[in-house]
A and B are shown apart, each in its own frame.
Chain A
Amino acid sequence: MRNRQATRLLFELSKPGRRAARVPACDVPTGELGDLLPDAALADEPPPLPELGEPDIIRHFVNLSTLNMSVDTHFYPLGSCTMKYNPKRNERLASLPGLADVHPYQDPTTMQGLLALLFELQEMLAEIGGLDAVSLHPAAGAHGELTALLIAAAYFRDRAEPRTKVLIPDSAHGTNPASAAMAGFKAITVGSTSEGFVDLDDLNSKLGDDVAVLMITNPSTLGLFEPQIETICRRVHEVGGLVYLDGANMNAILGVTRPGDFGADMMHFNPHKTFSTPHGGGGPGAGPIAVRQQLEPYLPVPVLVRRDGRFVLEEDRPKSIGRVRSFFGNTGVLVRAYCYLRTLGPDGLRRVAENAVLNANYLLARVKHFLPVPHGDRCMHEFVASAQRLKQEKGITAMDIAKRLLDYGFHAPTVYFPLVVKEAVMIEPTETESKETLDAFVEALFRITEQSAESLHAAPHAAPINRPDEVRAARRPTLHWQPSDQSGEH
């Protein structure tokens, strides 16, 4: 059934003389190009782009799309990524011209509706996080981390406290240490206990007046709520440091507990996880941050505030860290998040957390019998199983399980993360999956563990391709098509 003709590369489909888009006729008196622009600036030829007609383009991209798994077509139990259903009303409403076609430099008086919406979103996020002030600027979670760390640096510079270190538990996502380094800090790893919690002794030994921030993910990437979170935050505060909460896992605690209430001073949200905005094959996301009162002066500009009943974008903020992106934020994503929050309300959000945790625990209860879960019998919104025993006994790896699941029509869980679990299989069902789907998934997973390692190493068998040669891709990088390249003629 595959249309191999249409899914050849755009460049192979190209034929001189074809075209899809036409530009309007020129309705102004024209000058000679050579008189308007210097010769040296002009290209001799148009850029060597492919030439295609509209039917070509549609058939190409529509056929290509069918090679993807997606939330709208498949269960996507991708731990840490919160692949929940993406409501269609949000798509429709975000594309209303009154929202989608607003220019970032319009006079604020011509966009009071949009600013009101964004202001209300700021207030909702502050309430959900239990913190005081919000910036909608960051473009993704990692960008929120960086922004918050730059805020921390400015705060300590203001207080003439030269703090150089950021502490990060070993179970943290890679963006945490990468953001710390980018902000000019030294990233220091804090170990975990065998139960998967922060090792308090190790933390204590690393705390001092040179520590600016502890970045903590709670619930952790193991899907566990840190029982000592209050103590941890207190210790950090005792040495004058700040606590950053990586909010990737907010789905588990919406309306149940709030980062500000358990001791965090700053956090980011991932609307593309928690607030249902589509992942888009890798983005766009957004990474709004919330901070405590004393950090508010440092928020990036412009800051959206209400003055005398009007919404304005304030640039003149002497203590601000400055800008972290152009214009204002990933507004289209934020509008979708706003629609989601308005649709669910306080009770709905709490039910999200309850059902996400229920679904995860249900899977955990069923899975642990054949795929051990090293860190306990209960979890929050996700859990991390380990294929270590299967690997030792039968030679079946986490990767094998991931690849074979694709044959059964399930997206793979996150594998080999967090790094603290060997042969990690990280499963997050989210609240939008049904018991029937979860049961079918457990069944598939169980069957896989019964299969021979040999056949599993060859999986997937039913996907559009089988396992690609990643080593070759990295060793001899081919990163764009070239005219001489004939390798595609299958």
Chain B
Amino acid sequence: MPYILNTDDDRREMLAAIGAASVDELFDSIPKNLRLDRPLDIPPACSEPELTADMERLAAQNIPAGRTVSFLGAGAYDHFVPAVVDTIASRSEYATSYTPYQPEVSQGNLQVLFEYQTLLTQLTGMDVSNASLYDGGSAVTEAVLMSLAAAPKRRRVVVAASVHPEYRQIMATYLENLDVSIDVLETPEGTVDAAMLAKTVRDDVACVVVQHPNFFGCLEETAALASVAHDAGALFVVSVDPISLGLLRRPGDYGADIVVAEGQSLGNPLSFGGPYLGLMACREAFLRRLPGRIAGQTTDREGRRCWVLTLQTREQHIRREKATSNICTNQGLMALRATVYLAAMGPHGMRELAELCVQKAHYAAAQVTGSPRWQAAFERPFFKEFVVRDRQGKVAAMLDEARESGVFAGVPLGRWYPQLDDCLLIAVTEKRTRGEIDRLAKLLSSSNSKRAMAHA
């Protein structure tokens, strides 16, 4: 047993001290008829070399981002992760510590959280941030729950169809048993129409939820939408791409009340969808409704500046069923990664990164739609992602073909938007080179291959 230190002698001495005849006796409180009378039916133990060989075999059966050219995005992005992020996050003192409930021996973690919160307020222009939620999807729903709690008489939520479909599904799941209705505002042109929104939002709406850049990569007219929401007394909730904030106006500057985001892009590997982190920042007015942990500054008895977890009366371990959320374990190590990432990028790195994404995505869009087969699905400004429509309507076949040529060409949209089943969402990060983009364009334009015909 690699991780147990007790020797047979230890066990004998310990049993003697306990006054028990055997280890079995320590389990006497478990009724005999409830005991498992056989070994668990799971694979036998294996050594580290055997496990390593097995894991390498399993890993070899997947095609990771580094072994293909990936234009997949839709909420999870292949951005570069600087080595400093891994170096810091793999330190035992961070990775193997618990939630900093004992501040005297957790100042490292607490200061990191305080720095993380500060970086998020700087990035978003909001007043306060919590110390992370599970992921960008559940963060949207937490923001909705906050809005509902802030206005108990308002029982409607308006969410744009251009918000990530999975985020909307999460919202629907969480709200199913609460007395709340969700109105999805269609976005046939790719973005929310402010006039249409104004018709939907009345004084029974707790919040309006949009994503910016939205699921299709398009920029929403956030300031106008914020006014519509505010005119009806509703809160304006925005889900952002943190990378875009190197370039785009900060949500705090266009009237957002609560900002959430998927934080994966800030130094976290793709890892098949998790662990990521949900970012959440809001206006001061909603501070006491924030879910999750918050680090705050104070002083110790000698007047030294230090940090603690604070405002804990919001949380489940104090308030139980009246807590602002049930969240306990959050995504601390991912928040550390985001902190190191933002420190490494700095203001200019973030600006240049965002610009690079914009330029490369626009180049890619021009190249792809240069072929008669593809057209832009939406005539809207976009950030690092865009939707193209296949005039031949053979997206699935094309994706198979591209994959065989070593390119993950994009995410097909039909599973979420039946009217877009001939459309592809293409994401371009700073890692994609001109050569790779040209290859994508070439693959996509090669219409009517034999395979494509066979699939049609």
Contact = CB atoms under 8 A, between A and B. Distances in A.
A43 B248 contact: yes
Interface in A323-365: 323-333, 339, 341-352, 354-355, 357-359, 361-362, 364-365
A455 interface: no
A279 B311 contact: no
B46 A37 contact: no
Contacts, number: 705
B55 A96 contact: yes
Given A339-B51, A466-B104, A141 B329 contact: yes
Interface string B136-161: 11100000010000000000000000
A42 B294 CA distance: 30
B108 A324 contact: no
Which residue, B75, B174, B433, has most C-beta atoms of chain A within 10 A?
Answer: B174
Nearest to B173: A322
Interface string A40-77: 11110111111110100110111011111111111010
Contacts of A135: none
A46 B246 contact: yes
Contact of B399 (A107, A128, A322, A468): A107
A26 B383 CA distance: 16
Given A98-B58, A182-B174, A490-B305, A43 B42 contact: no
Contacts of A69: 93, 97, 102, 105-106
A357 B27 contact: yes
A488 interface: yes
Given A47-B350, A282-B99, A412-B102, A102 B62 contact: yes
Contacts of B60: 98, 113
Interface in B261-317: 262, 269-277, 287, 293-302, 304-308, 310-313, 315-317
A443 interface: no
Contact of B17 (A92, A127, A362, A463): A362
A402 to B, nearest CB: 7
B216 interface: no
B315 to A, nearest CB: 7
B123 interface: yes
A101 interface: yes
A480 B117 contact: yes
A478 B310 CA distance: 10
A463 B107 CA distance: 10
A465 B304 CA distance: 8
B321 interface: yes
A348 B45 contact: yes
B23 interface: yes
A247 interface: no
Contacts of B64: 97-102
B336 to A, nearest CB: 7
B368 interface: no
A97 to B, nearest CB: 5
B346 interface: yes
Interface stretch (B162-170, B197-205, B370-378): B162-170
Interface in B78-114: 78, 82, 84, 87-88, 90-100, 102-109, 111-112, 114
Contacts of A345: 42-46
Interface string A72-98: 111010100101111101011101111
B173 A406 contact: no
B275 A284 contact: yes
A364 B26 CA distance: 12
B31 interface: yes
Interface stretch (A198-206, A237-245, A387-395, A426-434): A426-434
A200 to B, nearest CB: 15
A466 B103 CA distance: 9
A431 B4 contact: yes
A238 to B, nearest CB: 19
A464 B172 CA distance: 46
A350 B1 CA distance: 11
A432 B95 contact: no
Contacts of B349: 19-23
Interface string A93-117: 1011111111111110011111011
- The contact size tier of chain A is 35 or more
A36 B96 contact: no
B344 A20 contact: yes
A258 B37 CA distance: 11
A449 interface: no
Interface stretch (B227-235, B358-366, B387-395, B444-452): B358-366
Contact of B300 (A47, A254, A327, A468): A468
A73 B93 contact: yes
A463 to B, nearest CB: 4
A28 B434 contact: yes
A294 interface: no
Contacts of B34: 229-230, 257, 261-262
B177 A255 contact: no
B6 interface: yes
A300 interface: yes
A97 B66 contact: yes
A326 B170 contact: yes
A100 B55 CA distance: 12
Given A28-B363, A332-B275, A472-B299, A255 B36 contact: yes
A89 B51 CA distance: 9
B177 A153 contact: yes
A181, A270, A359, A467, most chain B CB atoms within 10 A: A181
B246 A331 contact: no
28 contacts: A18-B346, A38-B219, A70-B94, A72-B92, A93-B52, A98-B62, A101-B64, A127-B40, A128-B40, A143-B134, A280-B334, A281-B98, A281-B112, A281-B332, A283-B275, A284-B330, A326-B167, A326-B262, A328-B274, A343-B51, A348-B1, A362-B18, A365-B18, A434-B6, A464-B104, A465-B306, A467-B301, A478-B298
Closest 8 A/B residue pairs (Cβ): A327-B273, A98-B59, A113-B61, A184-B177, A280-B333, A282-B332, A345-B45, A326-B137
